[in-house]
Amino acid sequence: MVSLGGGGNVEKARAIQASLFAMAINTLLQICFGARLSVSMETSQAYIIPIISIALSTYNNFDHSLDPHKRFELFIRRVQGASLISSFFQMVIGFSGLARYFARHLSPLASVPLVTLTGLGLYVRGFPLVAKCIEIGLPALAILVFLTQFLPLIWKAKKEIVGQLAIILSVGIVWTYAEILTVAGAYDNTSQERQINCRTDSSSLNGAARWIKIPQPFQWGTPIFEVGDALSMMAASLVAVIESSGTFYASSKLSGAPPIPPSALTRGIGIQGIGTMIDAVFGTGNGSTASVEDAGLLGLTQVGSRRVVIVSAIIMVFFSILGKVGAFLSLIPLPIVGALHTFLFPYVASAGLQYLQFCNVNSFRSKFILGFSLFMGLSVPQYFKEYVFLSGHGPVNTGFTWFNDIIQVIFSSPPTVALIIAFFLDRTHTPKAHSTRKDSGMDLKEQYDESGMTQEIYNIITSLGDLCS
């Protein structure tokens, strides 16, 4: 994003610090006031398409009249203005009750494609990243699998303890191995792309980052509001809400929490809008979403305590002030990150398959809705991405860039496409048949909701009794 906008290493270091700070604040808000699940917030890749359009528009309008730094500031101010408007759109979705209506009518059958493709839809960030430097990425993946799945059987240790240390151990071992290859000159005479992906000294942020720098609100200037930018960014914020909903459902499954009630999902989406507004205020150039990696980490470590995430967020605030820390972490080769994704994302996908226990998978209606939504959820985004790669623009190429971006953003997201198809078919395909509610799992869902509400009322009464005592 920084490079497209015209910024250099200094701007990139400041953007990383602002992102770390905003993610930590957003995580604390989400845990304390939002969905109150053991989830962390991160920057969303759903905003990439409108951000690229804003960057290209700024470049075409001010190619020679502005120096790169001024052009970057103008670009980021446009992104800030669009993000501010999209944040209010997310808050309206959450706090107005639209999310509550959606959650009440979302059956377990339609939840399967949503949650499953929240994990599987990110396959591009998995093994393709590992293969960019196979001699680093593949050992990282192999060590991670060995530590979590086979070492407890050999060492007779508790799997939970090994899983909590596996990420640190695997990253440390392979990072050291990559450092040895870099120092030994294994990549001195290779291509530029291979050096970027394999070397541990390819990042030049250490000299640009300051030791201590507190992120400042509106550090790039006052926001610039344009209608087209805001409309395309609102579509991206809607996709981020859908993807966050899938992550919330997965986190509740993997952490052992009760099924997330509609009220908690409503609060989570509303607080996510506040988080996007914080991103815009501090100039991260992006919006917020729930972290799929963190949801997968719940399945690996089996630690669902919110206190752990709160402590992590506080540490992240401290690291965001120390600019050198973010610059140091940027030295981790991307194939190692791809190995982590390859291992963590399947936990989220498997959490979506857990919802099949509420459905009648022997019904041909259920088979059609599941198979068609999952297939189209992967096939349609692939078509849109390949079309852009081959022609340079999306299938919809009108004279309005913002409209093209809206279509491209919505139909490039696998969970969004799968949810639209599954929700529509589930609500319209033989809705009055006697077996429909049972096949979709709505009867069991209502029983769980009622038991959860009874338990919630019991907890409130118990707390009041303790307070009176």
SS (H, E, C) 146-193: HHHHHHHHHHCCCHHHHHHHHHHHHHHHHHHHHHHHHHCCCCCCCCHH
Residue 465 pLDDT greater than 50, yes or no: no
pLDDT at 379 over 50: yes
Give the pLDDT mean for 336-358: 91
- Reported confidence tier of residue 467, pLDDT bands at 50, 70, 90: very low
Please compute the mean of the pLDDT values over residues 235-244 and round it to a whole number: 93
By C-alpha distance, which of 118, 107, 103, 109 is closest to 260?
A: 103
Question: CA nearest 241: which of 371, 88, 137, 447?
Answer: 88
Most confident of 5-9, 214-218, 413-417: 413-417
Specify the 3-state DSSP secondary structure of 218: coil
Dmax (CA) for the chain in angstroms is 75
- The Cα–Cα gap between 163 and 347 comes to 13
457: phi then psi, degrees, rounded to nearest 5: -65, -40
**Mean per-residue pLDDT for 425-434?**
85
- Rg for the chain, CA atoms, rounded: 23
Q: Give the pLDDT mean for 241-262.
A: 88
Q: Strand, helix or coil at 289?
A: strand
- Is residue 222 pLDDT above 50, yes or no? yes
Single pTM value for the model: 0.89
Question: Are 245 and 265 spatial neighbours (Cβ–Cβ below 8 Å)?
Answer: yes
Where does the pLDDT of residue 422 fall: very low under 50, low under 70, confident under 90, or very high at 90 and above? Answer: very high
Rounded-to-integer distance, Cα 395 and Cα 180, Å: 46
Reported as a pLDDT band with limits 50, 70 and 90, residue 113 is very high
- With bands split at pLDDT 50, 70 and 90, how would you rate the model's confidence at 446? low
Sign of CA dihedral 126, 127, 130, 132: negative
Determine contact, residues 316/23, Cβ cutoff 8 Å: yes
Which of 142-151, 244-253, 402-411 has the weakest average pLDDT?
142-151
Per the DSSP assignment, residues forming a β-bridge with 41 are: 290
Residue with more model confidence, 443 or 387: 387
Can you tell me the distance from the alpha carbon of 361 to that of 400, in angstroms, rounded to the nearest whole number? Answer: 44
* Average of per-residue pLDDT across 225-241: 92
pLDDT for 250: 92
User: Residue range 85-91: average pLDDT?
Assistant: 93
Comparing 448 with 250, the larger pLDDT belongs to 250
Which of 218-227, 386-395, 422-431 bottoms out in mean pLDDT, i.e. has the lowest?
386-395
Amino acid identity, residue 367?
K
Only one residue has tokens 């507190």, namely 214
Percentage of the residues of the chain whose pLDDT score is greater than 70:
91
pLDDT at site 23: 92
- 263-274, pLDDT tens digit by residue? 889 999 999 999
For the segment 167-195, the average pLDDT, to the nearest whole number, is 88
Q: What is the dihedral of CA 107, 108, 110, 113, to 10 degrees?
A: 160
Reported as a pLDDT band with limits 50, 70 and 90, residue 65 is low
pLDDT given at position 255: 83
Instruction: Compute the mean pLDDT over every residue in the chain, rounded to the nearest whole number.
Output: 85
pLDDT above 90: percentage of residues in the chain: 40
Describe the chain by its helix, strand, coil percentages, rounded to 5.
75, 0, 25
**Which residues are registered as beta bridge partners of 43?**
288
Q: What are phi and psi of 363, to 5 degrees?
A: -75, 135
Closest residue by Cα to residue 292 from 236, 354, 345: 345
Question: CA 301 to CA 314: how far, in whole Å?
Answer: 20
Res 449: pLDDT: 55
Output the six-digit token pair for 150: 């086979």
| Statement: residue 461 has pLDDT above 80 | no
pLDDT of residue 448: 58
Confidence of residue 190 (pLDDT cuts 50, 70, 90): confident
Please identify which residue in the block is written with the tokens 């790169």.
Answer: 68
Q: What are phi and psi of 367, to 5 degrees?
A: -60, -40
pLDDT at residue number 321: 85
pLDDT band at 456 (very low <50, low <70, confident <90, very high): very low
d(CA 428, CA 449): 23
Q: Work out the pLDDT band at 460, boundaries 50, 70, 90.
A: very low
Kindly report the backbone phi and psi dihedral angles of residue 187, in degrees, each rounded to the nearest multiple of 5, phi listed first: -120, 20
Query: 281-335: per-residue pLDDT in tens?
Result: 998 878 889 999 999 988 888 888 889 899 999 998 888 888 787 777 778 888 9
Q: Which residues sit opposite 42 in a β-bridge? A: 289
